[in-house]
Structure 1
Amino acid sequence: MFRNFELELFGQDQPIHCQNAYLHMIIEYELLKNNSTLKDKVIGLKKQGYKTEPAFCELLDISGDPYEGLIQYGIKEGIIIWIADIL
């Protein structure tokens, strides 16, 4: 917390394009780009206290860990490719 503002810091010891936070942003961008009503629904859930990834997973009916679930969804939908396949 900083001046009543919650901060979250996440990083991984790998190139940016392989980090989960970056992959989440790519997946979320593509989903929002292709579904104009999704943005307002995500914002509505965030106003209810959801974090971004759990909000997307709630709307996309992705169960389990939302951070891993969003990555798996992005792979399944062809938004991203599994990093191990290109390294």
Structure 2
Amino acid sequence: MGTLVDRTTRYVKLLHLPNGRTAEHVRDALVLTFTGLPADLARSLTWDQGSEMGRHDEFTRATSIAVYFCEPASPWQRGSNENTY
């Protein structure tokens, strides 16, 4: 399972990953999830350094949503996501 959290509204969306969390699975789940979101909630995505975002360029081409990466060992750069439960 993956989590997406909008930092200003605290809107939470869960990524269902029943077949695994490879880069292909995550890319497909993100494309599907972002397709149904209002444009105001789909401007950018900040991710950690995990290999599951290895296909971030394909996600950006499919959705026109920029992907940013946190610095290694810096979870506070994604504080809204890290502290959501």
Q: TM-score, normalised by structure 1?
A: 0.30
Greater strand share, 1 or 2? Answer: 2
Greater helix share, 1 or 2? Answer: 1
Select the structure of larger CA radius of gyration: 1
Query: Which structure has the higher relative contact order (CA within 8 Å, separation 6+)?
Result: 2
